[in-house]
Amino acid sequence: MADAELRTAHLFTIWLNVGEMNDLGATPYGNRRIATVTGGRFDGKELRGTVLPSPGGDWLLLRKDGVLMLDVRITLRTDDDALVYMSYRGMRHGPQWVLDRLNKGEKVDPSEYYFRTTPLFETSSEKYSFLNRIVCVATGRREATGPIYDVFQVL
């Protein structure tokens, strides 16, 4: 069998604003926090628009091994007024000294830590119906206002 290379195409970049963070503390599964996504924007070749404020959130779980698990659900409104439900799971981890700098809101080079997600989409828009049938991966970086992701469609 020949080696198959994974090919992708940039779908969009998304900037999320994160507001209130509720810290549930240590649960049986790890340290649980729930963050409110208060808005944002996305921009790509085929679609662009804004991230609607709540309901939208990030259910975070810091595992005992230091891996931060993400479970995010948000609604996108395209610039031509279509609604798209976006959900993704992912993980962020790295050396503790790098994560400490991130948690303080410092700017950290994304190459110093691992931050990946797997977005899925759902829409009733005919124009954007292709989103219902694609698999995506995203690379993330964390800034003081919230995460930024470059979302790629797997071809």
Number of residues in the chain: 155
pTM of the model: 0.92
- pLDDT, one tens digit per residue, over 74-125 is 999 999 999 999 999 999 999 999 999 988 888 899 999 999 999 999 999 9
Domains and CATH numbers, the chain: 8-154 (2.40.160.20)
Using only C-alpha atoms, what is the Rg of the chain? 16
- Pairwise CA distance, residues 60 & 70, whole Å: 5
